[in-house]
Structures are given as structure tokens and as C-alpha cells.
Chains A and B, each alone.
Chain A
Amino acid sequence: MLSFFVRRLIMLLFTLYAVVTLAFFVMRLAPGDPARIIAGFDAPYETILALRHELGLDRPLIVQYGRYLAALFRGDFGRSYNTRRPVLEELAWRYKNTIILALCAVSFATILGMTLGGLTALRPYSVFDSFAMVLALLGVSAPIFWLGVIFMWVFGVKLRLLPTGGTGTARHIILPSVTLGLALSAVIARMTRSCLLECLGQDYVRTARAMGFAERTVIYRYALRNALIPVVTVVGLQLGYSLAGAVLTETVFAWPGLGRLLVDSIFARDYPVVQGCFIFVAFTFALTNFLVDLLYSVLDPRIRYG
């Protein structure tokens, strides 16, 4: 168990290093001189040269890379080309917003998905089952950003129930997290249904029934517990994928999160911020997957990684 943990941890660190390196060099391949972008296109050559020196862009690439890595170790992500403020400062509060959005969306998705999935598994091939599964299929097929726009129109404009964008109150998070959560809930519902169905067909469930346990006990103590293991994994993975959906949701609802910052920084060619966003996203995603792996072995004692 411990050696598995250490091995996974080393892999996690290696992945992060590779992500940092990839982000650094890919951004340097991009056309467009940041010094010229900041100074403006009609700036005198001297200003651009001075700016390049100030930003360290006149050094050889390998030196820039070394300095970037060294700074990262000290928690210094560099400064934004546009606002001149430390990248970490720009990222921190937006990251918090994205995490809040992701957590709300995944919680909503888990409650909805597991309820639907559980109920359908108990009445397989019924009208309710077909209806719910069609609904789930519709859920994974609708583009998030379009769903967001439609929800905004229905609940924000027509019914005037909820604010259509921005942050502030708890009411602001409802539309974005429901939009983001719907697609995720479809995946969770399908997973819950198929796992529970599989578990209900197992020998130990038949044994439990044969021993005369109440149907409630059979379902909750035997089938559901075992069915939950893969479902927990899927929920964990959805947390990572919700980051991807967050880019689109944040754009629709003007939610000041990491995804929106990333897209804006790409348009502005603000390399340090773009790198910071990628590193934060990859880190969160890799860390969630790592935790899900650990959780998996805790939940299922049969799984013992050597």
C-alpha cells in the first residue's frame, strides 16, 4: 500500500514537471512578441528593447526556462504582462471561484445522478427507466454553453427567478452549477444504474435474499455498497472534467473563474498567466485522479496495490 502510494506520488510529481515544461515551451513557440504587445505597436524600438530586458525575454531560452523553474519552486509564477501584478495573485481568487463552481456542480450532479440511477436500477426496463435513460442521453448530448444560454433566457429573462450572471450572492451560483452539473449527472446516472444492476445480479445478493433479509437491507447493505465503488470513482473524475466544462460555463455566466481568465489571457498573449492557468488546471486534475485512486483502494479492500 505504502509503496503504491509513493509510486503514484512520484508519478504525480513527474507529471507536474512535464506539464510545467510543456506549458513553458509551447508558449514560447507562439508568434507575437510580448514586449511589443505590451508597449504597443507604435512604440519606439528602445522602449521595446528595455521592456524585453525587464521581462527577461532577451536571455537565451534555456536560461529563461531555468529561471522560470527556480521561481516556481519559490511559489513565484511571474508577473502578468498586462496588469503587472503577480500571476499567483491574479489566479488565486479566480481559482477559488472555479473550485466553488465545480464543487457545487458536482454535488448537484451526484445527488441527481445517483437518485435517478438508483431508482431506474430498481425498476429496470420500466417506462420510468426508459424515460430517465433517454433524459440522461439528452443530457450528455446538449452543448453546455447552449444549455446555459437557454437557462439564462428561461429562468433569468422570462421567469425572472435568478440572476443571469456575475457573482455575489448564493443565488448567482444556481444557474451556472445546474448548467454544468446536468451533463455530469447524466454520466453518474448511467454509471449508478449499470453498477447497481450488475450488483443486484450477484450471488451474494441472491444469498442475502434467500436468508430472508428485508429487500431494503439487501439493497442498502449489500448491493448499493458494492455498486458505489465505481460510482465514487466516476464522481471523483467528474470533478476534474468539470474544470473543462467550467471554461464554457464561466464564459456564459460571466463567472470570474480560471477558465475565463485562461481564454482572456490567450487573446492577450499574456504567457505567464496562461502558463499559470494550465499548471493549476493540470495540478487539480492530476491530484483528483490521485485521490480517487487512493479512495478506490480504501473502499474496496480487495484492491491492494503491490
Chain B
Amino acid sequence: MRTLKTIFRNPGAALGLLGVISFVLIGVTAPFISPFDPNKQNLRAIFRPPSKERPFGTDQFGRDILSRVLWGARTSLIVATSAIALAMIVGTLIGVSVGYQGGWADEGVMRFVDVLLTFPDIFLAIIVTAVVPPGLGTTVLAIAVYNLPQFVRVARAAALGVRENAFVEAARASGASSAYVVLRHILPNSLAPIVVLATLRTAASILTAAGLSFLGLGVQPPTPEWGTMISEARGYIVTAPWTSLFPGLAIFFTVLSFNLLGDGINDALNPRRKAFRG
């Protein structure tokens, strides 16, 4: 509770939280608040500049850009939350287990994680799309794989710390199985840093997912997705710049909100070490 208070004494973090909440709300309510069907084409109304009726204008198929941006929030929300959840569950289970067990399993898994970390950022996600045909599910998988090594590392480190506690030894001495000790004692006590990591990774995941879609390797058209929208629109930058402008601003404000919130959480948890991302 004190931590929460510290976080929101920082105006940036409060603003970030406001942005994150709006993003989630828009994502959830997109079908109700969109003025038009995001995929409804109207070839007689293509490239309409922003107006009172169409605040963000229309694209090359006459689709309403505002509606597509709102629905795009839904796509980003689905991709980011499912990918982070997947990476968090799998990564935590692996990390906590090998951290508790130690030995060759730990050594092997950590060397493999090191190899995965040899691929800078988006490349790990691209590897997945090289194998699995692109689509919403593949994008989720790709973003999850790209986050996995981070979660394994953090979960393992947390488990290593928890393992040394007396209550773990007590559980073991009273005859509990390894699986029971891991699930009942190690896991619940390792969760805090993992949850923080999940918040911090969301911004990067939204950016990477949009980047994948921009490359054509992520969410496929006609699904409204911000990266795909920019990719389709960039050919019309001379005649209809608003088609690229609004989806980009949407990514920008969403990522900014998550970054502000993440910085606030970081500052509150490590008051001596101010936040910076490397």
C-alpha cells in the first residue's frame, strides 16, 4: 500500500496509469464505442481527410480510421496480455523449477537462455514467424518467445533467494515432494519481481508486436492493427498523411503510458536507483 502511494505521488506515473486504464477500457469497449464498422469498405469515400463526421479521416478502402484505431487497441490488448501471460506462466514455471532444483537442469536451461539472449530484441520474435505461418496466434507466440528468457531469468533468481529460507527446509524435512515445495512455497514467494517484470515488458511487447505487423510478419490484414495500418498507409504518405499519423500516435501514447507507469513502479521499488532502460 505504501509502495502504491509512493508510485502515485509521482505525477508521471499517475498520468501513465490513467493512459493504461484508458487503453484497456478502449480495447474492451471497442465494439460499442466505434462509430463505424472497422472493416466496412466504402470505395466512394476513400482518403477523406479528417472532418467532423470522420475525426481521423478514411483510408484507401474508405474505412473509418478512428474505428480502426479503436479496434486496433483491442488487437494490441489481446496480443500483449496473452503473450505476456503465456511467457509469464511458462517462464516462471521453468525458472522457479530449475532455480529450486539447481544442478544440470539449471545449468542447461540457463545456457539455452543465454543463447536466446544472443538474438537482439525483435529477432527472437522474427525466428518464430519464420517457422509458423503469420496470424494473430503466431504473433502472440512470437511475442511470448521473445519475452520468455527474461521471465526465466528473473523467476530463477527469485527462486534462488527463496530456496534458502527456513520454511522451505521445514517443508522438505516434513516430507513434502519437490513439486509441492515449488508450487506451495517457492512460487508464491517469488511472484513480486515477476509481476513487476510483466508490467515493464508490456510497453516493449506492444512496440514489438506492432513492428512485426509492420513488417508483414505479425497480425494480418484486414484485422485492424496499428502496425499493419502504418505499413499499408505509408505508400500514401504524400496524398493522405493522416492514414499513417493516427495509428502511430495510438502506439506512441499507449507505449508512453506503460513506460511512465513502469518508471514510477521502478522508482518506488528502487528509490536509490532511478529508472533507465538499457
User: Which A residues have a C-beta under 8 Å from some C-beta of B?
Assistant: 14-15, 18-19, 22-23, 26-27, 29-31, 137-138, 140-147, 149-150, 152-153, 157, 187, 190-191, 194, 234, 237, 240-241, 243-245, 247-248, 251-252, 262-263, 266-267, 274, 278, 281-282, 285-286
Contacts and interface: CB of A to CB of B under 8 A. Distances in A.
Given A27-B131, A143-B255, A251-B215, A278 B123 contact: yes
Given A27-B131, A266-B126, A149 B248 contact: yes
A252 B247 CA distance: 16
B126 A143 contact: no
B3 interface: no
Given A26-B131, A150-B244, A266-B130, A143 B276 contact: no
B244 A266 contact: no
Interface of B: 111-112, 114-115, 118-123, 126-127, 129-131, 133, 203, 207, 210-211, 214-217, 227, 230-231, 233-234, 237-238, 241, 244-245, 247-248, 251-252, 255-256, 259-260, 263, 274, 276-278
A147 B234 CA distance: 11
A142 B278 contact: no
Contact of B119 (A14, A144, A146, A285): A285
A231 to B, nearest CB: 11
A196 B237 CA distance: 42
Nearest to A153: B237
A267 B216 contact: yes
A244 B120 contact: yes
21 contacts: A15-B114, A19-B118, A19-B119, A27-B130, A27-B131, A31-B133, A138-B252, A141-B252, A141-B256, A143-B252, A146-B248, A149-B230, A153-B238, A190-B277, A194-B276, A241-B120, A244-B120, A248-B215, A262-B126, A266-B129, A281-B123
Contact of A143 (B129, B131, B210, B216): B210
A87 to B, nearest CB: 15
A273 B115 CA distance: 20
Interface of A is mostly: helix
A150 B248 contact: yes
A157 B238 contact: yes
B131 A263 contact: no
Nearest to B112: A18
B237 A19 contact: no
A234 B256 contact: no
A278 B121 CA distance: 13
A29 B133 CA distance: 12
Given A190-B276, A263-B126, A278-B127, 17 more contacts: A19-B119, A22-B115, A29-B131, A143-B255, A145-B210, A145-B231, A149-B233, A150-B245, A153-B241, A157-B237, A187-B276, A187-B278, A191-B278, A244-B122, A244-B123, A274-B130, A286-B118
Which 10 A/B pairs are nearest by Cβ-Cβ distance?
A146-B248, A244-B121, A141-B256, A190-B276, A244-B120, A18-B115, A141-B255, A30-B131, A266-B130, A244-B122
A149 B251 CA distance: 14
Contacts of B260: 137
B217 A266 contact: yes
B278 A137 contact: no
Contacts of A18: 111-112, 115
Contacts of A248: 122, 211, 214-215
Contacts of B215: 247-248, 251, 263
A15 B114 CA distance: 8
Nearest to B273: A194
Nearest to A195: B276
B120 A140 contact: no
Contacts of A143: 207, 210-211, 214, 227, 230, 248, 251-252, 255
A145 B217 CA distance: 14
Nearest to B237: A153
Contacts of B217: 263, 266
A252 B123 contact: no
